[in-house]
Amino acid sequence: MTRAVEGMATIRDTVAETTRKMEDLEDASQRISQVIRLISGFAAQTHMLAMKASIEAARAGDRGEGFAVIADEVRTLAGRSAQATADVEAIINSIQIATQDVLSAMSAENKQVEREMELVDDTRASLNQITAASAQMNQLVTAIAQTTSDQTRTSDAASQTITDVAQLVRQTSTEASQVSETFKDLLNAAQALQAEVARFKVH
Establish if 183 belongs to a structural domain. Answer: no
Q: Domain tally for the chain? A: 1
> If you average pLDDT over residues 107-131, what whole number do you get?
82
What span, in angstroms and rounded, lies between the C-alpha atoms of 66 and 34? 36
Establish if 119 belongs to a structural domain. Answer: yes
Q: State the pLDDT at residue 4.
A: 62
Establish if 159 belongs to a structural domain. Answer: no
Q: Which residue has the higher pLDDT, 161 or 132?
A: 132
> If you average pLDDT over residues 113-138, what whole number do you get?
85
> If you average pLDDT over residues 23-32, what whole number do you get?
81
> If you average pLDDT over residues 28-42, what whole number do you get?
81
What span, in angstroms and rounded, lies between the C-alpha atoms of 67 and 75? 12
Establish if 193 belongs to a structural domain. Answer: no
The mean pLDDT of the chain is: 79
| Dihedral, 135, 141, 144, 150 alpha carbons, nearest 10 | -90
Establish if 160 belongs to a structural domain. Answer: no
> If you average pLDDT over residues 57-62, what whole number do you get?
75
Establish if 203 belongs to a structural domain. Answer: no
Question: 190 by DSSP, 3-state: which?
Answer: helix
Distance of CA 191 to the CA centre of its chain: 102
Are the CB atoms for 82 and 48 separated by under 8 Å? no
Instruction: Say which CATH number the domain at 128 has.
Output: 1.10.287.950
Q: State the pLDDT at residue 203.
A: 52
Identity (one letter) of the amino acid at 29?
Answer: S
What span, in angstroms and rounded, lies between the C-alpha atoms of 82 and 79? 5
User: Taking the alpha carbons of 70, 71, 75, 78 in that order, is the dihedral positive or negative?
Assistant: positive
* Residue 83 pLDDT exceeds 80: yes
Of 134, 45, 113, the C-alpha closest to 82 is 45
Q: Print the domain residue range for 25.
A: 2-151
What span, in angstroms and rounded, lies between the C-alpha atoms of 127 and 133? 10
Question: 1 by DSSP, 3-state: which?
Answer: coil
Establish if 202 belongs to a structural domain. Answer: no
Of 69, 66, 72, 65, the C-alpha closest to 49 is 72
Q: State the pLDDT at residue 120.
A: 79
Q: State the pLDDT at residue 200.
A: 65
What span, in angstroms and rounded, lies between the C-alpha atoms of 26 and 100? 8
Establish if 114 belongs to a structural domain. Answer: yes
Query: Residue 118: enclosing H or E segment and its boundaries?
Result: helix 65-202
